[in-house]
Amino acid sequence: MSIGLLLLIGAGILILLGLAQQVLDRLYLTDKQALIIIGAMVVGSFIEIPLYRGEPPVSINLGGAIIPLALSIYVLYRAGTAKETNRGIWGSLLVGAVIYGVSKIYAFDTYAGFIEPQYLWGIIAGITAYLIGRSRRLAFVSATMGIILADLIRAIEGAVTGRFGPTRIGGAGVLDTVVLAGLIGVIIAEVIGETRERLQGGPDHSPDRPEGLQEPDQREGGDENG
């Protein structure tokens, strides 16, 4: 079983134990919604949707690209401010550019490098996404969309030049990279965010805070799982 599937299963267990509620609140997800998405990604990782049947053929993976991309767009749509939305978009573009650049200089031969490329990309994407976004939401969005964007660019490059074999956007190990990048970005943001909040005496619950950045139970009509 791949590391991506193992990480998804681990995340599902944490959700069932009630240990991920704060992160889910930041992503506008309930426990039930998150578990459904995780299950869909696991099942969808085995489903390839053909996009181009010529040479080389191009397909997109349901669990490794379409579902995480849809989730990222949803989170970005629910962003509290236009500034946050713009940072999410630019963050995704920058992460995609960094990963594409790394893919050009890093040896693809597993035995030639100190770490497999998909794990290296996931780590770099997660760290870069946090440095750009500086929040749980933006770290998740930038890391996830950045990886998918880099994979899409590589697919287009392969289709145009014909230098690569069949391209599976979101497949062939990219699910591992997407999941790893998203988790690393969120975990770093969570640890640093919690540390900063404790040093500042707790999170900002003032009514003057933008609605989209308020805790779910602060919003009018909101609930604890929002």
The residue extents of the domains of the chain are: 3-201
pLDDT class of 105 with cuts at 50, 70, 90 = confident
Q: Which of 47-61, 70-84, 132-146, 163-177 has the lowest mean pLDDT?
A: 163-177
Distances (CA, A) of 143 to 43, 54, 109, 180, 197: 22, 31, 24, 9, 23
- What average pLDDT does range 100-118 have in this prediction? 70
Residue 78 has a pLDDT of 86
Q: Say how far apart CA 153 and CA 201 lie, in whole Å.
A: 44
Q: Which structure tokens are listed for 193?
A: 């965010």
Closest CA to 178 of 202, 219, 150: 150
Find all residues with CB under 8 Å of 101, minimum gap 6, and list them: none
Q: Is the pLDDT of residue 167 over 90?
A: no
Residues 137, 79 contacting (CB under 8 angstroms): yes
Residue 111 has a pLDDT of 57
Q: Is the pLDDT of residue 19 over 50?
A: yes
pLDDT class of 73 with cuts at 50, 70, 90 = very high
pTM: 0.79
Quote the mean pLDDT of the chain: 80
Residue 102 has a pLDDT of 83
- What average pLDDT does range 148-177 have in this prediction? 79
- What average pLDDT does range 26-33 have in this prediction? 90
- What average pLDDT does range 2-11 have in this prediction? 85
| Residue in the structure block whose two tokens are 């990279």 | 177
Q: Is the pLDDT of residue 58 over 70?
A: yes
More confident residue, 121 or 69: 69
